[in-house]
Amino acid sequence: MPAQATAESVEQVIFDGLSELGAEGEVKRESTFEQLDVDSLDLVEVAQIVEDEFGVELQGEDVKDLRTVGEVIDLVVARSQ
C-alpha cells in the first residue's frame, strides 16, 4: 500500500530523490530545476520514485510546465487526495 502523501512526506521523498540524482546545490521548495541542473530524464526518475512511494502517477504532460520543486510537491499532494 502506498505511503500517505502529506506535504512533508512528499517533500522529503522528492528532496532525497533529487539529491540522489545529483542535483546541484541545496534542494529547496523554491529551487528551480534549472538551478539544480535537473533535466527531463531526471524528472522521469523523480516521477517513478513518486509513483512507487505514493501511488501517484505523473506523466510528462503533467510536469512539463512545472519549474520549481515546490510545484511538483504540490501536484503530488493534490493528486493523492
Write out pLDDT tens, residues 49-75: 999 999 999 988 888 889 999 999 999
Residue the block writes with cell 505514493: 54
CATH number, residue 39:
1.10.1200.10
- Give the chain's domain count: 1
Task: Evaluate whether residue 52 is within a structural domain.
Answer: yes
- 3-39 tens-digit pLDDT: 788 999 999 999 999 999 999 999 999 999 999 999 9
* Domain extent at residue 42: 7-80
Catalytic residue among 39, 42, 62, 74: 39
**pLDDT at residue number 78:** 94
For residue 17, is it within any domain?
A: yes
The phi and psi torsions of 25 (rounded to 5 degrees) equal: 80, -170
Catalytic-residue membership of 39: yes
Specify if 2 maps to a domain.
no
Q: Quote the pTM value.
A: 0.91
Residue 1, domain member (yes or no): no
For residue 1, pLDDT over 70 is answered with no
Interatomic CA distance for residues 37 and 54, integer angstroms: 25
Cα–Cα distance between 59 and 69 in angstroms, integer?
16
